[in-house]
Structure formats: structure tokens, C-alpha cells
Amino acid sequence: MIGFERVRKLIGFLSRHRWSVPPSLLSAVFFAQLASELRENELGPFDAAVAKLVAGTRGDFDQPMLWLTRLGEGESLAVIALLAGALLLAFRRMREVRYLASVGLGTLLLDALLKFMFHRARPGPEGLYLIHTPYSYSFPSGHALGSLGVLFGLVMVARAVGVRGVYLALLAGVVTLLVLGVATSRIYFGVHFPSDVIGGLLAGVGWVSAITGWFYPRALPGEAVAPPTPPAA
């Protein structure tokens, strides 16, 4: 009887969080696989091939790549999050303020923790282009993790405040391109291995999915962001 009750609760939990649990679990599995290959030094050929491909476009996209890599910096993302938070405060959307703060601060802490765990050195100076190598460790990419967390967090906030249909799809599409652009820019300038940005993106997906599931467990397309309030008796 106790076992049946636990299964029923698990099914209920998965039903409520079917938009957040699968992406969180899948990203965790892929991240673990990537981390395992990193520890076993199996990513060298992949990193070298992708880095060479991206480096071949240098000189053609310097200005947009510089803009994208600056967009993904912690200071830029903090300004974006603070401005969005101030606007939400003005409209008394406290739940969205807490959600955005959780996403933003969480990505910052997660990036620091993962970098400390893996201690991966940055690519050598021979591959560096236009900008200086940061002093922090390389895996995962903080730019990829932070930009995905903050910008997709804003997409979820937009949905929570009522943006729907083509406008939400357009916003999500633009954000996707920006995040991928930020991630690519880190390879373009030679400050990250390709596997670093993949790790950052996977960590970002897992974190945003988990926090979104906590705050908005029914945020599926076509559903209410929060469970409807029962009518008064």
C-alpha cells in the first residue's frame, strides 16, 4: 500500500513537471557523459576539429562576435536582469522577480562550482584572437551558461506575464540565436574549447528547466502558467 502511494505521488509529480523534468534529466545525463570524456582526455580531436572550423571564419565576423561575447559577460547579463527585475517590481510581479533572481544567481554559483570541480585550463595562447584569455578555468563556459540562463529566463518571464503565440515564438527564436552566437564567439576568439561551450549550454538547460519547473510546474504550451484558483463557494 505504501509502495502504491509512492508510485502515485511520483506519477503525479512527473505529470505536473512534464515540461521541466525531461530536459533537466537529459541535460544532466549528457553533461555527465561529456564530463566523463573530459576526465579521460577523449575530447581533444573533437575540440581541435571544431575550433579549426570556427577559426577559419575569423576576420569575417569580428564585430558581431565581439558584440556577442560582450553580451554574454556577467556584467552585461547582470544589467539586463536588473533592468527586467526593476520593471517587474514596478508592476508588482514578485513571483517573476524571485524566479529571475533564482535563475541568474543560480547560474553564477553553478558556473563557479563546476569550474572549481573540473579545473580545466584554457586553450593555449597560439589559438587566441583579438581578446585576452580570462583568468578563470575553462570548463564549462560561463558565457554560454549565463546567457542561456538569463535570456531564456526572460523568455519564461514573458510567458508568465501573458506573451503568447507568434510573439513568444519570435522572442524564443531570437534568444536562441543570441545564446548560440554567444557560445560560438567564445570558440571564435580562442578562449574556450568547443566542449566548454557545450558543457555550459547543457548546464544552463538543466538549471533553467529545474527552476522553471519549481516556479511554474504547469508552464506547458496552452496551459496556465500557474494552476487556476478554484472558484469561491
What integer pLDDT is reported at residue 50 of this predicted model? 97
Please give the pLDDT value at position 223: 47
Residue spans of the chain under pLDDT 70: 1-19, 218-233
Dist. CA 116–CA 112, nearest whole Å: 6
pLDDT of residue 21: 76
Q: What is the grid cell recorded at 177?
A: 540565436
pLDDT of residue 43: 96
**Amino acid at site 181:** G
pLDDT tens for 1-49 read 456 666 666 555 556 666 677 889 999 999 999 999 999 999 999 999 9
Q: Compute how many other C-beta atoms are within 10 angstroms of the C-beta atom of residue 146.
A: 27
Q: Give the orientation angle of helix 44-55 with respect to helix 165-188, to 10 degrees.
A: 100
Question: How far apart, in whole angstroms, are the C-alpha atoms of residue 14 and residue 19?
Answer: 9
Q: What is the pLDDT of residue 148?
A: 97
* Residue whose entry in the numeric block shows the C-alpha cell 595562447: 125
Task: Note the pLDDT of residue 233.
Answer: 47
The pLDDT value recorded for residue 228 is 46
Count of alpha carbons within 13 angstroms of residue 64, beta-carbon side: 11
74 contacts 112 by C-beta, under 8 angstroms: no
- Cell match 561575447: residue? 69
